[in-house]
């Protein structure tokens, strides 16, 4: 989704060299790449924590405490089809 938007931005930049040279456009590209990296890291961080939690809920002796307090396993984050739609970046 964001990756596709970045590819289209870079394609536009290739077609218009004066745009590519613009400091504002370079800053926009950097911010979009940074945002994409942050989203990927956050998704990975969340799923890593869910994996650790689910493992502890299922393994002895922590499963005894988890059962006492009715802790249940969480599902991993996975974007739904609607959320994966291509993002339109308009200039």
Q: Quick: pLDDT tens for 23-81.
A: 887 888 889 889 889 988 999 999 999 999 999 999 999 889 999 999 999 999 887 77
Q: Is residue 91 situated within a structural domain?
A: no
For residue 66, what are the domain limits? 2-77
Summarize the confidence of residues 14-22 as an average pLDDT. Answer: 67
Asked whether the whole model's pTM tops 0.95, one would answer no
pLDDT at position 32 is 86
Number of domains in the chain: 1
Residue 82 in any domain: the answer is no
Whether residue 90 lies inside any domain: the answer is: no
89 in any annotated domain: no
Q: Does 85 map to a domain? A: no
Does 10 map to a domain?
yes
- Give just the sign of the alpha carbon dihedral 84, 86, 88, 89: positive
| CA angle, residues 60, 62, 64, in degrees to nearest 5 | 80
Whether 8 contacts 89, CB under 8 Å:
yes
Is 51 part of any domain? Answer: yes
């Amino acid at each position: 989704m964001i990756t596709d938007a970045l590819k289209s931005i870079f394609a536009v930049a290739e077609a218009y060299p004066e745009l590519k040279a613009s400091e504002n456009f370079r800053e926009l590209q950097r911010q979009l790449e940074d945002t994409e990296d942050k989203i990927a890291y956050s998704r990975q961080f969340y799923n890593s924590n869910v994996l650790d939690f689910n493992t502890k809920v299922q393994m002895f002796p922590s499963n005894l405490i988890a059962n006492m307090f009715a802790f249940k396993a969480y599902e991993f984050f996975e974007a739904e089809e609607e959320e994966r739609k291509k993002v339109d970046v308009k200039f």
